[in-house]
Amino acid sequence: MTSLTSNGNGGGHSPSKSPLPPASGGVFAPGTEVVATASFNGAGGGRDLPFRKDEFLRIVDITQDPNWYIARSSHGEGLIPANCVRPTSPHVAPSSQSRRNGITPMPWLHGLIMREEAERMLTNKPDGTFLVRESTNYPGDYTLCMAFKGKTEHYRIYQQKPGKFTCDDEEFFDNLTQLISHYKRDADGLCHRLVTPIIPDNYMIGRDEPDIALRSKVFRDEGLVIRRHELSLGDIVGHGEFGDVRSGTYKRQKVAVKVLKRLGVVDSLLEEAQFMASLRHKNLVQLIGVVLDDTTDLFLVTEFMANGNLVDFLRSRGRHQVERRQLIQFALDICEGMAYLESKQLVHRDLAARNVLLAEDMTAKISDFGLAKHANSPNHDTSSGKFPIKWTAPESLRTSKFSNKSDMWSFGVLLWEIYSFGRVPYPRIPIQDVIRHIEKGYRMEAPEGCPAEISKLMNEAWAFKPEDRPNFIQMLAKLKMVSAASSPPPTPTTPSSKGSA
């Protein structure tokens, strides 16, 4: 057997007695959840996946033989016969042309449309908006069309060798889904990272989006896939960008669970989870896993932070209950977490006290990586109106350029939040006037009772030119010096009188 998928030229799975296709004549899109209508013990192939009647599985990929699919269950991954399973919910089947070319059905695929039509659809769209069409000049090839600086860029996608898609002869992918997912993460030679697809009017978005199946491999490889029955949900403890945040229990451990409510942000939630999966630090909220097999929702499971977010903690207690040494420790914790991100060339882009959570032992940990990106990634459209103006560096407000130095500006604002016990930055200045005041040289005064050394560090973080700001390693060293200087000297030990003359 040369290949399991339709991307290669092999003959696919050829058991001695091939099952018939589903009675409906339909096909299953990758990502579709199916339930077994009969038991299957294997047809003699080493790659078969046995299962029992009524067992749930998820389709991972198609094969050259329409009677067989690659699927995954709680026992593993392998080939299953199509006539022994049925979908648990309606799904969109790929076109016959898509199946012949090894393409996973995706909302960005528009079929055979003219170049001019693609350009019309991308007119006045934000940079990174894209679609894929069948090539009119090179039958059998595809064209990636992307909006960039008021124009449309066209990239030919072709198979340089059987079953390997490329647009530059350098990076090769098994199918278009993998190619698009790669360029969503990084421009890697394109004019811009892929951001938002143009979806055809006749495309029906369903729960079983193929991107879920593709990304689930990443989480599975990291040991981060959680089965829905392993997770118990508790009360709602907050609300996030994607939906409610609930308490929960996983393997007798208390956890926090982001519950996805809007299908339109599936990719955003999975991107945040994939980002978190690569991070390990005591001052970053730890991802425990993701639940992908629920019939209606997606779940992102993280460690539970018993004391909530930093801004609410500071506001509810105030200067009479929070000691000064606790404030400097918060600053140290956050700076350590940011120094780690900086060492990984990662930019948070939304650093603020509301996005810092407190563990049971009061350790501060950075959370909410929904806007986080690699430092070398192209910058993205910020026209959604969700821009944290009062925490954002002036160069980012003007040019949408983000860096570790723009994170440092945000850290300066966060320091101000800590020492003001959670006040909103730039009090008495309307949000639309903040950038004008900053560019004229205005900087916030130190909060009441703020040590002069901390006020100095705030102003260093607010240097107008990014290159004049410290990096996080430098800031951490300065904070440690402030902490050491403000700590009470150790109590002298009184010599014992035992044995004295």
Mean pLDDT calculated for residue range 352-379: 79
Q: At what angle do helices 324-343 and 472-486 cross, to 10 degrees?
A: 160
184 is in an annotated binding site: no
- Of residues 329 and 81, more confidently modeled: 329
Q: Which residue matches tokens 């409906």? A: 24
Model confidence band, residue 237 (pLDDT cutoffs 50, 70, 90): confident
Mean pLDDT calculated for residue range 24-43: 70
- Exposed, middle or buried by CB within 10 Å (0-12, 13-18, 19+), for 229? exposed
- For residue 217, what are the CA distances in angstroms to 31, 80, 104, 113, 260? 11, 18, 15, 32, 20
Distance of CA 126 to the CA centre of its chain: 20
Residue 499: which H helix or E strand, with range? Answer: none
Cβ atoms 340, 281 nearer than 8 A: yes
pLDDT of residue 8: 34
End-to-end CA distance of the chain: 92
| Tokens (6 digits) for 25 | 């004549």
Cβ atoms 41, 75 nearer than 8 A: no
- Of residues 211 and 366, more confidently modeled: 366
pLDDT of residue 372: 57
3-state secondary structure 215-247: HHHHHHHCCCECCHHHEEEEEEEEECCCCEEEE
| Distance, CA of 491 to CA of 364 (rounded, Å) | 28
Q: Which residue matches tokens 């269950």? A: 73
The amino acid present at 435, given as its one-letter code, is I
Query: Which of 374, 423, 380 minimizes the C-alpha distance to 400?
Result: 380
Mean pLDDT calculated for residue range 172-197: 86
pLDDT of residue 152: 95
Model confidence band, residue 16 (pLDDT cutoffs 50, 70, 90): very low
Q: What pTM does this model have? A: 0.58
- Of residues 328 and 205, more confidently modeled: 328
Query: Which of 45, 167, 21, 46 minimizes the C-alpha distance to 99?
Result: 21
> Does residue 387 have a pLDDT over 70?
no
Phi, psi values for residue 450, rounded to 5°: -75, 130
Distance of CA 83 to the CA centre of its chain: 36
| Distance, CA of 186 to CA of 199 (rounded, Å) | 21
| Tokens (6 digits) for 190 | 């394109």
- For residue 365, what are the CA distances in angstroms to 8, 353, 369? 46, 10, 12
- For residue 107, what are the CA distances in angstroms to 339, 390, 414, 449? 38, 36, 40, 55
DSSP letters spanning 174-222? SSHHHHHHHHHH--TTSSS----BPPPTT----S--HHHHHHHHHHHHT
Most confidently modeled range among 37-41, 375-379, 409-413, 485-489:
409-413
DSSP letters spanning 292-331? ---SS--EEEEE--TT-BHHHHHHHH-TTTS-HHHHHHHH
| Distance, CA of 367 to CA of 467 (rounded, Å) | 26
Distance of CA 158 to the CA centre of its chain: 29
Model confidence band, residue 477 (pLDDT cutoffs 50, 70, 90): very high
The predicted-structure confidence for 246-301, as pLDDT tens digits, reads as follows 999 999 999 999 887 544 555 666 667 777 777 889 999 998 988 876 555 778 89
| Distance, CA of 356 to CA of 107 (rounded, Å) | 35
The amino acid present at 492, given as its one-letter code, is P
| Distance, CA of 179 to CA of 171 (rounded, Å) | 9
| Distance, CA of 488 to CA of 104 (rounded, Å) | 64
| Distance, CA of 254 to CA of 252 (rounded, Å) | 7
Mean pLDDT calculated for residue range 434-454: 96
Catalytic hit among 48, 174, 293, 350? 350
Share of the chain above pLDDT 90, in %: 40
Mean pLDDT calculated for residue range 448-465: 97
Cβ atoms 212, 229 nearer than 8 A: no
> Does residue 353 have a pLDDT over 80?
yes
Mean pLDDT calculated for residue range 176-188: 85
Q: Which residue matches tokens 């049925």? A: 86
- For residue 350, what are the CA distances in angstroms to 3, 111, 188, 378? 44, 38, 24, 17
**Kindly report the CA angle at 302 between 299 and 306, in degrees rounded to 5?**
125
Model confidence band, residue 451 (pLDDT cutoffs 50, 70, 90): very high
Is 350 one of the catalytic residues?
yes
| Distance, CA of 472 to CA of 449 (rounded, Å) | 25
Residue 122 zone, left/alpha/beta (φ > 0; ψ -120 to 50; rest): alpha
Mean pLDDT calculated for residue range 89-106: 40
Query: Which of 90, 55, 74, 72 minimizes the C-alpha distance to 4?
Result: 72
| Distance, CA of 317 to CA of 320 (rounded, Å) | 7
Bridge partners, 165 (sequence order): 159, 173
